[in-house]
Structure 1
Amino acid sequence: MPYKTTVMAHLDEVDDLATAIGACNNVWYKEDGGLRRLCGSNTDWLGIKGCLFEKAHEVSRLSDDGPLTALVVGAGGASRAALYALTVHLRCATVYVLNRDDQEVADLMRDCQRLPTPPKIVHITQLEQAQQLPAPHYVVGTVPDLEPRTDAEKNLAAVLRSILERPEKGVLLDMCFKPRRTRMIKLAESLGWACVEGTHVIGYQIETQWRLWAGTERAAKLDKKGAWEVLLKAADESKAINF
């Protein structure tokens, strides 16, 4: 981060998944005729999908068969993976985007046209606008956990709070995990949302990333349960994210 979109132009090869999503979070070397080629893919979407499914059973309104609605906070590289997971795997036909930079949202709207089923994107900029929209079923945060300082940042924080305060609750994932207990997670939990912390995103990517980095044979021997245990223990003990 934050180079998940700009890194793609510097790689020798980008797979169809990263191209469709418009962002790359995973880079590895591939041997090709004695040459080493830098290749890129996207595994963020696996982490997002896994995290949202993790808590979906706790929210009764997610059992509906119809199309769902989501909110993505931010419009950078991670937001593109969120859009892919939400639209392709979680039945979200409409996605609200909360981001203060209009051009970033315009770029996101352009890039999402490459998705198999592009969603309807609604850029929320004002509190009144948010209050008139149906409540989202999923919320995915893709921005750093920083205290709002400017008027624009404070406005977006107020909009997010108003959405989370709605009586309809869902599942919230904050991909940021520094700190591990972000402002967004603390707020959402206090308001009754089922929340997943950002460290879990890593766990749902482990197997796919290990196959790319180490090869299919080694990946087949991966102790997934043990890998999760190592991840969660490291998250519990890390002074870098627990503050």
Structure 2
Amino acid sequence: MNLTALLNFYPLEALGSFWSDFMSTSSGSDTLFRLYGFPVLHSASPPFHNLIFDLQGQGRHYSTFSTSKIIPDMLKELHSDVFGGCSVTMPIKGAIIPYLDDIEPESKATGAVNTIVKVPAQPESGGIKLIGTNTDILGVKNALLRSLRLQHSGENISSQDRYPPGAGSAVVYGGGATSRSAIYALSSMGLHPIYVVNRDADEVKQVQNIFPELVSRGSLIHLRTPQEVEEHVVQSNPILMVVGAIPAVKPVTMEERMVYTVASHIFNMPYDPPSSYNPSGVTGLLPLPSKRLFLEMAYKPRITPMLKVAAAHGWEPIEGIEAMIEQGYAQQRMWAAGNASATIGSDPSILGTFIERMARDLVLSMEDVIVKEVEVDLAAEMQAAPLVETPSPTFRILPTRK
């Protein structure tokens, strides 16, 4: 039963707390899950996560906490017995890192944490650790893999599969935090090189500084003009995937218009996947897309100008909301398993097909969240909380819950 059928069978008034609790406060006895950042009241995360929690029936609740800094009240929640896990958004994705026990490789590579997971510590300590990770990477990767699976429905495509050397390359439009997540995701799929289309050379340099290993082997190349596309791309591995990570606004300056010119040039490049790509049937290899994939990370509006350009040139368009859904799945899987690894975050068996389908239907059916009140930054008049240098049982390591 999809969401529409559910709501037709059970009117909203009859669903009671099942529906109204999506955006309401916790009962007080629930395990607490949060979205920390500012602003956050516009987020679709509370209805998404609370639907999953309600379907699981485990007494968990997800709500927002508006803060632009790491403040003491936030830390008290993170280290309380009722805390179950959280999402972290701007402007504190980087600021939260020193307050955690450890971070996963995805956060180390991108310098950002958007998810905190309570993970059991060593058995002898009898406690837990707060581990940070970046599920935005899995949002990108798993949205691309989902589209690839739809193209190759008869194949068993694993999240661990990769492209072999020389199979294909990728492009990222942009240079901010989302671009870094996209670069990490595409590299983890075996795509090489990765081209970065950006009008700002300094911004690209900052991205390259984060990925020195990719730069050292010539796998992170800045493209600014159609001429550079011809110089670097035509004789290289075919472009299989593109991720757009720029705002969906009309380009105004000449430099901004050039990004769209370069994008159109890339979208217009011919593509003819070989029929004998993997004749020996080697396992663990990703299949070539029958239509090249374009993932647009911007999702307001849902259909962006860049998405239209890609589709018009024969690319498979993937809306940004798909990446948002996939990173939400990854968070839920990690919280449920008490494990922040990317492998756990990509395992659909943890939540199950029904719950994931219901959550997807909810998000796809939602309109933008209308904020009907002035959002107050709880950290507006406060200093950031001090760091604790040495872990202590009362602050860094909590006893296990009974």
Could you tell me how far apart the structure 1 residues matched to 2:226 and 2:90 are?
A: 28
Instruction: Summarize the Cα distance change of 1:20–1:31 in structure 2 as closer, same or farther, 3 Å threshold.
Output: same
Which one has the largest radius of gyration? Answer: 2
Could you tell me how far apart the structure 2 residues matched to 1:159 and 1:187 are?
A: 12
The 3-state SS of whatever aligns with 1:70 is strand
The 3-state SS of whatever aligns with 1:177 is coil
Could you tell me how far apart the structure 1 residues matched to 2:217 and 2:263 are?
A: 24
Of 165, 183, 189, the match for 2:311: 189
Of 158, 163, 166, the match for 2:269: 166
Deviations 1:70-129 (A, max 9, x none): 00011111212211221122x2120110112212111111111267x9661110111221
The 3-state SS of whatever aligns with 1:86 is helix
Instruction: Summarize the Cα distance change of 1:122–1:114 in structure 2 as closer, same or farther, 3 Å threshold.
Output: closer
The 3-state SS of whatever aligns with 1:97 is strand
The 3-state SS of whatever aligns with 2:193 is strand
- Pair 1:235-2:357 in alignment: no
Question: Which structure 2 residues correspond to residues 215-226 of structure 1 after superposition, within 5 A?
Answer: 216=338, 222-226=351-355
Structure 2 residue aligned with 1:129 = 228
Instruction: Summarize the Cα distance change of 1:5–1:151 in structure 2 as closer, same or farther, 3 Å threshold.
Output: farther
User: 2:107, 2:133 within 8 Å by CA — same for their partners in 1?
Assistant: yes
Of 46, 49, 55, the match for 2:138: 46
Structure 2: gaps (5+ residues): 1-88, 153-161, 272-290, 340-347, 371-402
Could you tell me how far apart the structure 1 residues matched to 2:267 and 2:349 are?
A: 41
Of 142, 149, 174, the match for 2:252: 149
Instruction: Summarize the Cα distance change of 1:92–1:64 in structure 2 as closer, same or farther, 3 Å threshold.
Output: closer
Give the root-mean-square deviation of aligned CA atoms: 3.4
Could you tell me how far apart the structure 1 residues matched to 2:224 and 2:260 are?
A: 11
Structure 2 residue aligned with 1:140 = 243
Structure 1: gaps (5+ residues): none
Structure 2 residue aligned with 1:179 = 301
The count of aligned residue pairs is 236
Instruction: Summarize the Cα distance change of 1:185–1:240 in structure 2 as closer, same or farther, 3 Å threshold.
Output: farther
Letter of the structure 1 residue corresponding to residue 95 of structure 2: V
Question: Which structure 2 residues correspond to residues 92-107 of structure 1 after superposition, within 5 A?
Answer: 92-107=191-206
TM-score between the two structures when normalised by the length of structure 1: 0.80
User: 2:120, 2:338 within 8 Å by CA — same for their partners in 1?
Assistant: no
- Pair 1:18-2:111 in alignment: no
Instruction: Summarize the Cα distance change of 1:9–1:63 in structure 2 as closer, same or farther, 3 Å threshold.
Output: closer
Could you tell me how far apart the structure 1 residues matched to 2:171 and 2:365 are?
A: 28
TM-score between the two structures when normalised by the length of structure 2: 0.51
User: 1:141, 1:175 within 8 Å by CA — same for their partners in 2?
Assistant: yes
Letter of the structure 2 residue corresponding to residue 80 of structure 1: R
Give the fraction of aligned pairs with identical amino acids, expressed as a percent: 28
Structure 2 residue aligned with 1:7 = 95
1:31 is displaced (CA, Å) by: 8.9
User: 1:98, 1:124 within 8 Å by CA — same for their partners in 2?
Assistant: yes
